[in-house]
Amino acid sequence: MVDNMSKRGFDPLTYRFEGEEPEPGGIKEVADGVFWARMPMWDRLNHINVWLLRDNEAWTVVDTGLNREDIQKCWQTIFDTFLEGKPVTRIFATHLHGDHTGNAGWICRKWGAELWMSRSDFYMCKVMAADGPNDVPDDAIKFYRRAGFDESRLARYRERFGQFGANISELPAGYRRVTDGQYLEIGGREWRAIIGHGHAPEHVCLYCPELKVIIAGDQILPKITPNISVNPSEPNANPLRDFINSCTRFREQLPPDLLVLPAHESLYEGVHERLTELIDWHEVALEKLYELCAEPKRAVDVFPALFKSDVTDTSFFPATGESIAHLHCALERRMVRVEEDEDGVAWWQQA
């Protein structure tokens, strides 16, 4: 994630419910039948926003927080206090990342509820969660060597490998597939699934025309840009092209006057402005990348085009993925070319 607030001359968004954030284990109604809860996290993003939707004689949950005991206690307090004796019957996970899917399996088993996800994210989540610490594939090492990792960075990669599953309680064997444009009836209202790309394979957003609300997950965050990364699982992907195209399509399909419910930070109005900002931010980053590549650069050398603060040990991996995503987009636009040296390291230069 990149903090791009300082890139703005002014902030065109209107924040809602600031100072009214629910405490852990509490909820706040933000639209008719739409309730906001916050689950703690432990990194720079210290929380995730999750949602409960009144669903006739039941409840629907959207996103679930990391699989940790104290977060399950928060959920239990919500279940004991606010559900009016009605069960949770379905859980939506907007996408595969652990802060969204972490307790989905746990809540499904607790209530006998169904999990609703996009197909790509359901299966990718299962595959990634199954990776053990000893399974580091040779082609993944080759991928990071090509990006410019030295031996100590590669050792860190080997150490970190296989940790994805630690944040996720086991997903159920089966799920309900959510597809783009799908009509969903929740609490007697029409909701529509809109799928975005780039941050996750098929990121589900839930839009309710009647309430003028969109549950946006990580796809349209107000102050930071979601991480857009190329990973060893699809080493030639161009997720930044996919993300920019999604922003354009969302801007065409959504009305401007929505309350956006993002997975992190504040609720806001100004979805068209924010989508334009997200596109512009990446376009500017591509121009800076081009300037930087006047001399040949490795993926790990182009961080200054994308990040204004120093890249730390923990942000080094997502920063590398994000750099490669920008380089691949620039390559497809014929802005840069790439050559591999005899050690298999890729050097990028203005075309």
CB 143, min distance to Zn ion, A: 21
CB 68, min distance to Zn ion, A: 17
- Closer to Zn ion by CB, 131 or 301: give it: 131
CB 183, min distance to Zn ion, A: 25
- Closer to Zn ion by CB, 97 or 274: give it: 97
Tokens of 65: 């927080």
CB 81, min distance to Zn ion, A: 28
CB 147, min distance to Zn ion, A: 21
Residues within window 279-298 making contact with Zn ion, judged by CB under 5 A: none
Give me the torsion for CA of 51, 53, 58, 62, rounded to 10°.
Answer: -40
The one-character DSSP state at 254 is S
- Closer to Zn ion by CB, 55 or 322: give it: 322
Whole-angstrom distance, CA of residue 201 vs CA of residue 125: 10
Residues within window 62-101 making contact with Zn ion, judged by CB under 5 A: 97
- Closer to Zn ion by CB, 195 or 211: give it: 195
Q: Do the beta carbons of residue 250 and residue 30 sit within 8 Å?
A: no
Nearest to 146 by CA among 351, 342, 350, 349: 342
Total residues contacting Zn ion by CB under 5 A comes to 2
Could you tell me the CA-to-CA distances from 324 to 129, 161, 225, 286, 344 in Å, in that order? 24, 19, 16, 11, 15
Nearest to 63 by CA among 73, 48, 76: 48
- Closer to Zn ion by CB, 194 or 293: give it: 194
CB 287, min distance to Zn ion, A: 26
Helix (H, G, I), strand (E, B) or coil at 143: helix
The one-character DSSP state at 201 is T
Give me the torsion for CA of 261, 264, 270, 275, rounded to 10°.
Answer: -110
Residues within window 200-229 making contact with Zn ion, judged by CB under 5 A: 218
- Closer to Zn ion by CB, 54 or 229: give it: 229
Q: Does residue 264 interact with Zn ion by CB under 5 A?
A: no
- Closer to Zn ion by CB, 103 or 290: give it: 103
CB 122, min distance to Zn ion, A: 15
- Each as own residue / partner, the long-range contacts of residues 191-197 (CB below 8 Å, 24 or more positions apart, any chain) are 194/250, 194/253, 194/254, 195/118, 196/220, 196/243, 196/246, 196/250, 197/239, 197/242, 197/243, 197/245, 197/246
Whole-angstrom distance, CA of residue 70 vs CA of residue 200: 27
Q: Which residue's C-beta sits nearest to Zn ion?
A: 97
Instruction: Give contact residues for Zn ion (rule: CB under 5 A).
Output: 97, 218
